[in-house]
Amino acid sequence: MRFLFSGCEQWLQNVYYSDRVKTSDEDCKWEPLKREIDIISPDLVLVFGKKDSRKFKGLLDQAGVRHIHFICFPCGQGAIHDRDAKELRDCREKLRDYFDK
């Protein structure tokens, strides 16, 4: 987060943070997130990590979210999939474009 929003900390007040893992029951994990998306109606969503990214994309598309960005964490599996943190840097530029409008 420090990297994505460095120099533009005021944007953090316009970002809603959530986490898919809200229950211990595997079958119910998406329901709270679906309800949150319906309530919040976000225009932009950042998805951290690649796990379940296709499910996230489908859910967010269905909800009409216009700006969706996926980011590999620059450590763990993310370091394997995006060694140079290119996705993270690209996302930072997209965020700047989005918020500078």
Residue 81 pLDDT? 62
For the chain, report the end-to-end CA distance as a whole number of angstroms: 21
Bridge partners of 75? none
> What is the pLDDT tens value at each position of the chain, 101 positions in all?
777 888 888 888 777 777 666 666 666 667 888 888 888 888 888 887 766 677 788 888 888 988 888 776 665 555 566 667 777 788 888 888 888 87
CA nearest to 15, candidates 45, 54, 57, 55: 45
pTM of the model: 0.69
Sorted by where each begins, the domain ranges of the chain are 2-100
Residue 54 pLDDT? 75
Sorted by sequence, the CB contacts under 8 Å of residue 27 that are 6+ apart come out as none
Angle among Cα 43, 13, 22 to the nearest 5 degrees reads 70
Residue 80 pLDDT? 60
Q: The tokens 């909800």 sit on which residue?
A: 63
